[in-house]
Structure 1
Amino acid sequence: MTHWRAGRAGEEGSWPTVDGRLSGAPPLVEREREEKLLCGLLHGLGAGRSAAVAVHGAPGVGRSALLDRAVAFAARSGVGSATAHASWEEAGLPFGVVGQLLACVAPGTDPSRYKAEQGADGVRELCRVLLAAARKRPLLLAVDDAQWADPESWGVLRALARRLSGAPVLLLTTHGVATGEPGGPGGHLDLCSLADERAVTAHTLTLAPLSAEGVGEVLRGAYGRPVDPVFSRAAAHAMDGRPAVLRTVIRRFSRQGWPPGPDHLPHLAETVAEAVGNRAARTCATLPAELQDVLRAVAVCGPDGTPGMIAALAEPRAHGTARALRLLAPTGLLTDGDPPAFREPRAAEAVLAGIGSERREELYARAAERAHREAVPDGAVARLLLAARIIGSAWAVDVLRREAARRRTARDLAGAVRLLQRALREPMDPALRVKVLIELSVAALPNAPDAADRHLRRALLTPADATAGPSWVYAAELLVARGDVVSAQPLIAHVLDRGDLDPRDRSALRALYWLAEHSQQGAAYALDRPSIPALAEAPTEPAEAGVAAWRRALHGQDIVRTRELARTALTPAARDSTPLTCQLAACHALVLTDDFAEARAGLAAVLVRAEGAGAHQIAGLALLVESLVDLHQGRTEAASAILDRAQEAMPPHCWHPLMAPGLVGLKIFVYLERGDLTAAERTVRLARPTGAEDGLAWAYLLYARGLLRLAGERREEARADLLECGRVLLARGVANPALLPWRSAAALAQGPDPDHGGLPEPAAEERRLALAWGAPSAVRRALLAAGGRSPRSTAVRPPADAPATWQYRQALVSLGTAALAGPAGPAAVPALLAADGAGTATRGGKAGARGPRGAAATRSAAPAGSPGARPAAPGGLTGAELRVAGLAAHGMANRAIAAELSVTLRTVELHLTKTYRKLGISGRSELADALGQLRRNTP
């Protein structure tokens, strides 16, 4: 523990050390020149040379320590000393400072008896007493903080300064400022103009703050060893080179056992701020009430205050504002700039802490109103409003919203949140309150996503008239976009229960309701009392059309109608009036229909509007859908870059638990495309269910994890994940394999059917659904999987370099000419493929490269009536004959057919001859019509 010695008047100064020892009286750090001058002047008193020395400097810079050192020098030199300390408490006591001096040199002398004497005579008598004492023994008269001396004492000191040649006196005064008004703080002393300069000299010393090297030297003296220069520099900067504060730091560090090193810089800042605040509180407590009011006005107005604002708040009566500020300058609390400000924020806090909260809020409110009238910038007015009582005027809300928008643009989100929360305390129109709540949610999302959702829920529950309709729509879509559909759906239903909504707002809310309903099973709770009409089969409103397109795409229903609905939602005329989330649903539908260019154009428009509005959740969702476009097109690196952008727009912690697994699943797709299983395994561990097990995003994660386990030959675990993925999707009626082809992946995980040599039934079901949907990428992927091929790509697209099989070509030709096949349309394609199977698998489950031969061998091995037996082909044609006839009917030459089916040319010719005979036709020209008639007649 550090032991300190006061070293006040008459005592020798001492150097504090952390081990409690005193090291005598070494020179004050960076005050050697001043000490040398004072020592020389004290020695000169013996030769009859008098002097007057004025020491100036900011509080805490060491003025009192230098005065104490002069008193100690005087004691060692045989010089008598008399000291006095002026203060605000005794500033109104006549002859208070002179009385302290007389108590040292002439005890029993009462200066009060000189009050009755006529001015000049009384002053001369007091000077005579002091000079008589000096003639007996050289005398040091030291007055500390002379700026606070009473006017009567100043009169005596000035008179004494003009008479210094009459006796050996060193008149030493310390002042808080270099200049001041006569008779007041910072007064100055003039020597007699006739005095001999060799006998009487005047000196003015201005003490500068300690440098970083000086601070380091003080610390080295206290700790007995060199201190880290980083700590020394930080200490010099934090305490502004004031030794008084440095002593407080050393004392506290010693008491707590903290070494002066970089690890304790936070403790350094805390200690300095506390010391400054305590000193400010003590200083303010000693000031007159009028000056305290000025200090508080400066603290409230801060660096943006104007003289008019300070005068209006303080209302100084005895002193004008300018003079009051001059009187406060010696305290060292304020800067010398214009407008004045506190040197330390903690000092301003300490000054305001002495008044009650109600008075403090009232001061801030008056300052804000005055600043608004003077057209002070919004930032300054908003700062005042944060601490003010309720203003009750519309301008306060406008200022706070404008400044919050500026803070949000500057990425000061915490500041924007504080401003908007303050704005909500003001009275305002309910429709405006809904807007402010949404703005607060947008600002709070990056740091407090759950709080952001709470603000949106409050917005949806705020009672207002129909003018709040667009704001309610925006709040609802922000909830849905982040993934909080469980809360969104009943709240949307609550808003839809209003009868005065604009039809367009009602349509948008209804679309968002059904978008939320399809995202989470059983999202509606008992709060959802109103009966919400279902989406029409052919909605005309763009918002409903976008959601209807998305739902149709998930169900795998009518690809042509799905495209039309999605385009309705994305027309330029609808972009400004359709919720962005509904447009995103339309873009996703176009991704599933393989209309990638249109999807990209729609996503770009949505992204621009979302970023402009600061809707992070919508921008993040748009980027996730855009990454799906790149994955479908095999652009792995582009998808990875888009996902990085998505994480910047909407960091993972900002997503609702129902939505967060989707981002993880897409990242796993990227790593699997790259073949980086280690990174994929590391990513999959980031997923946290936390109630997300029933969402569509969880299905993405299950599918990605299943593929990852399949790639790692963990087939049982993979199959469990993929089947669970299917359960989640089917629970919502999501059957389209274009979204996630979980059936074929599960079939691959199970392996070939041991009875029939092909893949299990789910692969055939996926083939049927893909052909019914008709998107080329879904068809290609399903046919490759049904043929026993495990695509190299593990994501959502088939490999671009995989060779097209006879099945794939035949299916595409059949789809392209479906209109020529009569009423059966595309339905004939599954029947055609089912007649011979989707492909073959060689022994051991490995995919075969030749379709017809392996299929025929499988069928010949299966007895009639067994589960693996195929039904007879239509018209008595064998499966081989039907395949050859189908290719020939679509224009393939015999040699091309032989190459496609890996048979000889002669075999093709024999199959065609038998086909012509069984169908009763004369040649190839009649083959297409005959096959079409055969299909129509076949049940």
Structure 2
Amino acid sequence: MLDRANDSGLPSLLVGRTSELTVLTSHAEAACAGRSGLVVLSGPAGIGKTSLLRAFLDSDTCRKMTVLHGTCGQVVAGSGYGGVRALFGPLGLTADDAHDSPLLQGSARRALPALAPRPGGEEPPSPATAYPVLHGLYWLAVNLMTQGPLVLVLDDAHWCDERSLRWIDFLLRRADHLPLLVVLAQRTEAEPVAPAALADIVAQPRSSAIRLGPLTDADVAELARQIFPLPVAPSFVERVAAVCGGNPLTVTRLLHELRAKGARPDDTGIREIAEVGQYVVAQSVHALFERQPGWVRDVATAIAVLGEEDPEHIGALAAVPAARVEEAVALLRDAEMVAPDRPDLAHDVVRSAVLDAAGADALAGLRGRAAQLLSDIGRPAEEVANQVLLVPGTPQPWMRWVLREAAAQATNRGAPEAAARYLRRVLEAEPDSVAAHVQLAGALAETHPVEAIGLLKDALDLTADLRAKAPIAVQLAMTCLTVQQSPAAVRTLGGVLDALETELGPDPEPRDRELVTLVRSALLISGCDEKATLTTVRERFAQLAEPAGDTPAQRQLLAMMTVLSAMEGTSAERTVRQARRALHPSGVALGNWSLLFSAFTLSLADEVEDAMEALDRSLRYGQENAAVWSYVLTLSTRALMLHGLGAMPDALADAQTAVEITSHERWGSHMTMPQIALATVLIDRGEPERAEELLGQVTRPNLDGFVMEYHWYLMARARARWALGDGRTALRLLLDCGSSLEETGFANPCFIPWWAEAAWIYAAEKRADEARDVVDHGTELARRWGTPRALGLGALARGMTTRGETGVGLLTEAVAHLSASPARAEHARAEFMLGTALLDAGDSRGAREHLRASADLAQSCGALALAKAARRRLVAAGGRMREITGSPVDLLTGTERKVATLAAAGAGNREIAQSLFVTVRTVETHLTSVYRKLGLTQRAELASVLRAQSVPHPQAPAWVSAARGRG
């Protein structure tokens, strides 16, 4: 494998790997041209992966790139972001650099927990979730790529921790058109630390594989000629190749051993080959130890355990003075066991041979002493724990403390898999420890929630104290939400709450009162998720007094009680009062649930500005903390609310952005709200086919059991079928929606006004008599709720299904109510129906007035389907109006509109990408499309064009000015 050998006997120039080197170089050149790629280099130990990588990194192509090269080791295999630190460690980035380093600008600062401990050993005030750190590392890599093409090379990737591999997967899924090459080298015979994560990376469509096979006889002959000054016989070469299996490391070592023994490379030397054999590395290690003093063996073993370490620490573990350590290292280097450029063993094959020579019992003791040594010299707990993980048997008490500390550090890095790895050993040693169960469940909640639920149930069984049970039950409930097991959570929380209320009485101490409130709020959140549990929690909390809202738990409970109050549909005033109290500033930080629930209920009561302000706060929280799941949920919720307000372009922008973000996430297929929101908007934009296609992609299990998503889904499907001319299916879906809502007990007429939609279809199909029960039901709900939107929908439903002057009068009433509401699209529909009724009654002039108003209002809302229908009726009534074509801005997709608006407001491409959780390339693509559609040539022209078209900022949608004008 060599043209010549270096001092260590390892390859310096490659032999037999020309084609592999060419493939690597071609991938690097493609990366330089902006075509990202992944190369997985595999083969058994000693096959030459590391040597090939060195030759590749020395190539002219790599000299033009930023190169980050790291090696994973067995000792750090379980640490959080160990592989990331191996790659980025040479950059020396710390929290002190956060404000000065261009690499840590913007979202890249979120990468710091993965890179290094905080100054002074401090940890962040709260644990980091995985996504913000992944997001930060992605932007750190992007910042590096602004300096030039980037190549990330990770050797021994089979020992890479799961979180680092998840980040590489995260990066590659967003790497289109980035100047990036990732190279992973792994042993084929080694079991990966994180096989699933590695398999996900290898399955990437941009992945290429290079599997290194054995050297040919010709390659072995070339190696022999470099080592022996004499002619090399073919029979000698064949025997060496056969004994070594073509393994370059073994071949090189064997040839050096044979030359040292004085063997000749001909038929006479063949006898020596059998004596040295294929286990030449292990034999040479044993032979060396037999020839040298015992302290040389002890130093070699200490290096094998600790890796590259200071001589005094190697000496402390080996019980050898530091001076002797340096002497031993020199001897080992002369024997080609230590690398020439660092104080570590030359190859992992050598390390394995040294550790095998120590024996299992001695090695176990040495691992334990190594962990103690690292702890005594103040190394981070994760580093100590990685040694503890390799110690067989039950960890000692001090080791368990270290493992817990390491788990906390891993959690603060956003590396839950590493935390779980440490805590499993704790639980093995303490099977009855409640704390161990709870801590491990917390680490697994994000990655293995079903296992976490089992651990929490065991913890509850092990806990007798009610005050200790309560927070465990709350943790269980929040974990159950992620895997659709809310009924189990409700049963558990209900039992704990019953016991707490019995034991603590009606007037507990403040601390206990907050605990009870926390359990109540968790019970409400869990119970309102699925229809199976909704009635139970509603009955339980029907008579509960409203909390003051002075603590986080009280605010969360108040927000949830507001949802129940709103869904009863009996008092809009009470709902608004509760929601405003839940949101009112009091020095108490609001969680995302409180913001979302309060905004939702305020929107039902037509309190638009307060609702949108709460959603904006939720979105800002998501951006600042890279809480992408919450961000997408909030964005989808806002899209549905904007649709209800008749702000179609803004709703489209939010919904399409939410869909685009989830398309890059592994959990995206389990989320339904973005697709439902986008489909809902597309129907009014005149694109029901696309809406149907999106709704067909919704595959969430047990969807019909959920309280919110299911009814939005049914409404969207019904409206799509009606727009496509299938009234029969549309009516069936709407009636199913009504039956399901009745099952839940929800009676708010503005949540899902299925009854008004059904009345529209009955009226259009001349089946008004069949609509009576549906309309009576809806109008009674509307009367009880009493908001302008509800009253307008009630009058509209009755007017559409009533003939003659009475019907016209009801439609006139609907126009009056809806014009006073924020529901502009519904107002446009009422104008359309009134104009149609007047036309049928022979009042062409009155018909033209209302049909023109409908067309104008619908067009301004972006409800193009209704606008075109109103224009057609207007023309039939003898009126005149130009074709509804829309402005050039209407040609923009929702995401293009959002990107263009942010750009017009002065945001840079990188800032836009970070705020929307998309790539810079995605932003560039959208802007290019915007310029083409709007006929622009430069960014500076965006603001004037968008302003002329009255396009609002995404954070200040079109409904704001209208609402303020009414106020």
Give TM class, smaller chain. 0.5 to 0.7
Aligned partner of 1:307 in structure 2 is 311
Native 8 Å contact 1:216 1:232 kept in 2: no
Match of 1:296 among 284, 294, 301: 301
Aligned counterpart in structure 1 of residue 837 of structure 2, from 848, 867, 877: 848
The one of 484, 507, 522 equivalent to 2:517 is 507
| Alignment correspondent of 1:670 | 681
Measured at CA, do residues 377 and 588 of structure 1 come closer, stay the same or move farther in structure 2, by a change above 3 Å?
Answer: same
Contact (CA 8 Å) 2:815, 2:831: kept in 1 or not?
no
What residue in structure 2 maps to residue 125 of structure 1?
none
Structure 1 pair 594–281 and aligned structure 2 pair: CA distance change class (3 A): farther
The reply to whether residue 679 of structure 1 matches residue 690 of structure 2 is yes
- Partner-residue secondary structure (3-state), 2:367: helix
Aligned with 2:413 (options 407, 414, 426): 407
Is the Cα contact below 8 Å between 2:486 and 2:530 reproduced in 1? yes
State the one-letter code of the partner of 1:517. G
Which residue pairs with 2:477 in the alignment? 476
**Deviation by residue 1:789-827 (Cα, 9 ceiling, x = unmatched):** 9xxxxxxxxxxxxx99522255479999xxxxxxxxxxx
Q: Which amino acid aligns with 2:319?
A: E
The corresponding residue for 1:731 is: 743
SS where residue 265 of structure 1 aligns?
strand
Residue type of the partner of 2:701? T
CA distance in 2, matches of 1:767, 1:729: 16
Q: Which residue of 1 aligns with 2:257?
A: none
Alignment correspondent of 1:364: 367
CA displacement 1:479-518 (0-9 Å, x = unmatched): 4477541232122224323546822121221232233333
CA distance in 2, matches of 1:675, 1:279: 75
2:544 alignment partner in structure 1: 536
Q: TM-score, normalised by structure 2?
A: 0.51
Q: Measure how far apart 1:404 and its partner are.
A: 1.0
Matching residue of 2:491 = 490
Aligned to 2:402: 396
Question: What is the rounded CA distance, in whole Å, between the counterparts of 1:440 and 1:668 in structure 2?
Answer: 36
**Which residue number corresponds to residue 8 of structure 2?**
58
Give the Cα separation in 1 of the matches to 2:418 and 2:561: 41
Aligned amino acid, residue 487 of structure 2: V
Shift of 1:323: 2.4
How far does residue 725 in structure 1 lie from its aligned partner after superposition? 1.9
- Separation of aligned partners in 2, 1:614 and 1:433: 29
- 1:265 aligned to 178, 196, 210, which one? 210
Q: Which amino acid aligns with 1:520?
A: E
Task: Note the residue ranges of structure 2 that are not aligned, 5 or more in a row.
Answer: 29-40, 42-46, 56-184, 189-206, 216-245, 254-277, 505-510, 549-553, 802-808, 823-829, 844-876, 878-967
Q: Quick check: 1:590–1:598 contact (8 Å CA) kept in 2?
A: yes
SS of structure 2 residue aligned to 1:341: coil
Listed as ranges, the matches of 1:196-595 within 5 Å are 209-210=12-13, 212=14, 215=16, 230=25, 238-239=50-51, 264-267=209-212, 280-288=281-289, 290=294, 291-303=296-308, 305-316=309-320, 320-337=324-341, 340-345=343-348, 347-349=350-352, 351-352=354-355, 360=363, 362-388=365-391, 390-393=395-398, 395-397=401-403, 399-408=405-414, 414-419=417-422, 421=424, 432-433=435-436, 436-437=439-440, 439-441=442-444, 444-445=446-447, 448=448, 450-451=450-451, 463=463, 465=465, 466=467, 469=470, 472-473=473-474, 476-477=477-478, 479-480=480-481, 483-496=484-497, 497-498=499-500, 499=503, 502-523=512-533, 535-536=543-544, 538-540=546-548, 541-573=554-586, 575-576=588-589, 580-595=592-607
Q: Which of the pair has more CA radius of gyration?
A: 1
Give runs of aligned pairs for residues 759-838 of structure 1, distance below 5 A.
760-788=772-800, 806-811=812-817
Identity of paired residues, percent?
20
Describe the superposition over 1:733-776 as per-residue Cα deviations: whole angstroms up to 9, x where unpaired.
Answer: 01213111112223334455757579554234323322431333
Contact conserved, 2:762 with 2:768, CA < 8 A, in 1?
no
Between the aligned partners of 1:482 and 1:425, the Cα distance in structure 2 is 26
What is the CA deviation profile of residues 516-567 of structure 1, one whole-angstrom value per residue up to 9, with x for unaligned ones? 3333233499xx99x9665526454433322221012122120100111222
Indicate the residue corresponding to 2:955 in structure 1: none
How far did residue 590 of structure 1 move?
1.5
Q: What's the CA shift for 1:231?
A: 9.3
Structure-2 change in CA distance of 1:594 and 1:239 (3 Å): same
CA RMSD of aligned residues (A): 5.1
Distance 1:550 1:374, change over 3 A: same
Decide whether the 8 Å contact of 2:596 with 2:615 is kept in 1: yes
For 1:232 and 1:769, the matched residues in 2 are separated by 65
List per-residue Cα deviations over 1:373-404 (Å, max 9, x = no partner). 21224553343344345242375145313431
SS at match of 2:609: helix
Structure 2 CA distance for aligned equivalents of residues 391 and 616 of structure 1: 40
Aligned to 1:70: none
Check the 8 A contact 1:535/1:544 in 2, yes or no: no
Q: CA deviation at 1:428?
A: 11
CA drift at 1:263: 5.7
What 5-or-longer segments of structure 1 have no aligned partner?
1-27, 32-54, 62-208, 221-225, 244-248, 253-261, 790-802, 817-837, 855-901, 903-939
Which structure has more RCO (C-alpha within 8 Å, separation ≥ 6)? Answer: 2
Structure 1 residues 282 and 706: alpha-carbon distance in aligned structure 2, compared to 1, 3 A threshold: farther
Alpha-carbon distance in 2 for matches of 1:462, 1:620: 38
Partner SS state of residue 693, structure 1: helix
- SS of the aligned residue for 1:736 comes to coil
Higher helix share: 2
Task: Note the C-alpha offset of 1:786.
Answer: 4.4
- 1:319 shift after superposition: 9.7
- 8 Å Cα contact 1:668-1:684 kept in structure 2: yes
Asked if the contact 2:691–2:720 (Cα under 8 Å) also holds between the matched residues in 1, the reply is yes
Cα deviation digits, residues 17-56 of structure 1 (max 9, x gap): xxxxxxxxxxx9746xxxxxxxxxxxxxxxxxxxxxxx97
Contact 1:759–1:786, Cα closer than 8 Å, also in 2: no
Distance, in Å, in 2 between the alignment partners of 1:722 and 1:467 is 47
Q: Is the 8 A contact 2:416 2:444 kept in 1?
A: no
Mapped contact 1:295–1:351 kept (Cα < 8 A)? yes
Could you tell me which amino acid in structure 1 is paired with residue 837 of structure 2? G
Deviation, structure 1 residue 328? 1.7
User: In 2, distance between residues paired with 1:485 and 1:698?
Assistant: 16
CA distance in 2, matches of 1:629, 1:582: 17
CA distance in 2, matches of 1:328, 1:264: 36
Give the structure 2 partner of residue 688 of structure 1. Answer: 699
Counterpart-to-counterpart distance in 2, 1:345 and 1:563:
67
Q: Which moved more, 1:717-726 or 1:549-558?
A: 717-726
2:33 equivalent in structure 1? none
CA separation in 1, counterparts of 2:459 and 2:841?
64
The alpha-carbon distance between structure 1 residues 495 and 399, as it changes in their structure 2 partners (threshold 3 A), is same
